[in-house]
Amino acid sequence: MSLLQIDQLSLAIHGTPILRDISFDLDAGQIVGVIGESGSGKSMTAYSVMQLLPEGSRTEGAISLNGDNLLSLSEEQMCSLRGDELGMVFQEPMTALNPVKSIGDQVAETVRIHRQASRAESLRIARETLDRVELPADRFPLSRYPHELSGGQRQRVVIAMAIALRPKVLIADEPTTALDVTTQAQILKLLRRLVREDNMALMMITHDLAVVSDLADDIVIMKSGEVVETGAAKTLFQSMTHPYTKALFEASSHVPDRALDSDAEAAPLLQISHVSRDYVLPRTSLLASPPKFRAVNDVSFTIQRGESLGLVGESGCGKSTLTRAILGLEEVQEGEILIEGEPVFSGHEVQRSVRRKMQVVFQDPYGSFNPRHRVARLVSEPFHLLDTQPGSAERAEAVADALESVGLEGSDGRKYIHEFSGGQRQRIAIARALIIKPKLIVLDEAVSALDVSIRAQILDLLADLSDRFGLTYLFISHDLSVVRSITDRVLVMKAGQIVEEGQTDAVFDNPQHVYTKSLIEAAPRLPDLPTELTAKLATQNEVSI
C-alpha cells in the first residue's frame, strides 16, 4: 500500500464542483509532479490533502495517509498531522513568513507545536534545520527577520518550517514560480536532496512541464478538476496518450514561424549608448551623503528595423529600469537613447513625436486596463499622441481594425474589459500598442503571466503581426525559452550591465559569458522526444486546448 493514496477525491466549494474523481498515489522517497494550467485544480488537490480548504468546501472520496483517511479525521487530529507528518511549501515566499517574527522562532514553532521540547531544544532543532536548507549560522542567525532575506532565502526558511520534523509527505505548491531561474534550480536541487535524505514523499505542483520533467518520478496531468493522464515521467512523454498532454507539451516548447527580414544595413531604429541610471538610497547616516545604487551601468546597444531583440536577465538586473528609460518614463543620468536619431528626452521632456514611435505591452493582463472604461476607449488611448485627433468615425474604424488584427471582433470595443479572459486581454493590450502604428513595440514580460497554451497563441500572434506590419520588438523577459522562440538577437543583462550579446541561437547554443552559461544551465528543459513523435505532433498541432 502506498504512503499517501488519493482515491476518487471530489471537491465542491459552495456547490461549485472544483475537483472530480482525483486518484493518484505517493510513495516514500518518490516525487510526483502534478501539472496543470490555472483552474486545473492542482492547488486545491494539495489543500485537500492538508485539509486547509476554504469555507464551504465539501470533499468526497478518500485521502489515506498510512491507511488513515484524512477526510474523516477531526480538525484536532489534522492539526497534529500538519507540520509533523505532512509538510507544505507555498508559492509566494515573500508573504509566506510572518514579518514580525524572527526566522528562528518561526522554524522552532513547528517543533514546539508538536513536541514537548523546551525553547532551547526547539531552537537547536531550528538551527539544525536551517543548516540543512543551506542557511548557515554565520550569515543567517536565528534572530534574522524575513525582510532581511531574499526571496530564495525566504523560500528556504519556508522549507525549513515544513521539514523541521522530517514529515513523511511534503507538498510543494509552485515553490519556484516566483523565483529567478538560477534560484529555482537551487531550490529544486535542495528539495531533491531532502527527499533523498529523509526518504520523504514529495508532491510537486507546478504549471511548468519542464520543471518536473527531470525531477519527478511520476507525473499527474490535470485539467479542469480532473486527472487526464498519469504515468512514470520516463515513459509518459514518450507515450502521451491523452491529446491534452500532447497539446500541453507542444505549447510548452512552442516556436512560432517567423520570417526574418531585419535590415542590418539601414540606420538603427533605437540606439542606446553608454546609458547609466543611479537611484539614491535612504541615508545611512545624517552626515554622509546618501548612498547610490547603480541600476543600469554603461549600457549600449542598437535595435535594427524589423528586428526582434530579446533582453534577458533575472529580477533586479536593471532591465525594468532600462525599459522605463526607453519608454521615456524615467530619465537617465548618463548616456543617450535615440529613436530614429531623435533623443527620447529633450530638456527633461518627452516630445509626443518621440512617444508616438513606441508603445508597450505589459505583463499583467488584469492590471493593464482601467476597469471603468470600454475597450474602444482603452484601445484608442494612444491617439492622445497624435497632433490632430481623429474624428469619431475614423477612431471607431481604427479601433475595429486594431481589434480585428489581433483576432478579436471589431464589435468588442463596446464591451468592458472584465468580459475578456487573460489571453484576450493580452490581445487587447497588443491592439492598443498597434493602433497608432508605432515603430517599436516593447514587450515587457508580455507572455509571462499566461498559461502555456495561451502563451503559444500570443507568441504566434506576435510573430504574425511582425511579419504583416514590419514591427520591431524589444522583448524583455526572464524566461529563456520564450526569448529563444521569438527573438533574432539577444542581450543578457546582469547587475546593470550587458554581459553578453549575439544572435539568439548562437548565444543559447554556445554561451560565452559564465553568467549566461549558468542561466542556460539552470533553466529547466523539456525532455527530447523520439523523432517519430515529434513528427506526429507537428502534423496534429491543431489540438484544441
304 binds other proteins (CB under 8 A): no
Instruction: Identify the residue whose cell numbers are 513528427.
Output: 535
Grid coordinates representing 138? 554565520
162 binds other proteins (CB under 8 A): yes
Rg (CA), the chain: 26
> Which among 207-215, 218-226, 254-262, 364-372 is the span making contact with other proteins, rule CB under 8 A?
364-372
In order of 73, 212, 237, 523, 533, the CA distances from 246 in angstroms are 39, 16, 8, 21, 10
- Say if CB 311 and CB 474 are below 8 A apart: yes
> Which among 86-94, 174-182, 189-197, 338-346 is the span making contact with other proteins, rule CB under 8 A?
86-94
81 binds other proteins (CB under 8 A): yes
Residue ranges in 53-150 assigned as alpha helix (H):
75-81, 103-114, 119-132
If one counts every other C-beta atom within 10 angstroms of the C-beta of residue 8, the result is 11
**Residue 281 vs 514, nearer CB to other proteins:** 281
* Shortest Cβ 520–other proteins spacing (Å): 29
Q: Please, which of residues 423-452 interact with other proteins by CB under 8 A?
A: 429, 432
Sign of CA pseudo-dihedral 281, 282, 284, 290? positive
- Say if CB 277 and CB 295 are below 8 A apart: yes
The per-residue DSSP string of 26-59 comes to E-TT-EEEEE--TTSSHHHHHHHHHT-PPTTEEE
73 binds other proteins (CB under 8 A): no
292 binds other proteins (CB under 8 A): no
**Total binding residues toward other proteins, as defined by CB under 8 A:** 65
**Residue 158 vs 201, nearer CB to other proteins:** 158
84 binds other proteins (CB under 8 A): yes
- Say if CB 133 and CB 125 are below 8 A apart: no
83 binds other proteins (CB under 8 A): yes
Report the length, in residues, of the chain. 545
- Of positions 118, 241, 300, 421, contacts other proteins by CB under 8 A: 421
Torsion, Cα 434 358 251 18, to 10 degrees, reads -80
Strands (E), 119-187: 169-173
384 binds other proteins (CB under 8 A): yes
* Shortest Cβ 462–other proteins spacing (Å): 17
The arrangement of strands across the sheet holding 16-26 comes to 16-26, 4-13, 57-65, 68-69
* Shortest Cβ 198–other proteins spacing (Å): 17
* Shortest Cβ 146–other proteins spacing (Å): 9
**Residue 111 vs 209, nearer CB to other proteins:** 111
CA distance 415 to 229: 38
**Residue 440 vs 463, nearer CB to other proteins:** 440
Residue window 323-342: x/- pattern of binding to other proteins, with contact defined by CB under 8 A: ----xxx-------------
**Residue 364 vs 467, nearer CB to other proteins:** 364
DSSP code of residue 83: T
- Of positions 9, 103, 161, 200, contacts other proteins by CB under 8 A: 161
List residues near other proteins by CB under 8 A.
Answer: 14, 50, 52, 75-76, 79-84, 87-88, 90, 92, 95-102, 109-110, 113-114, 145, 147, 158, 161-162, 284-285, 327-329, 350, 352, 355, 358-360, 362-364, 366-372, 378, 381-382, 384-385, 416, 418-419, 421-422, 429, 432
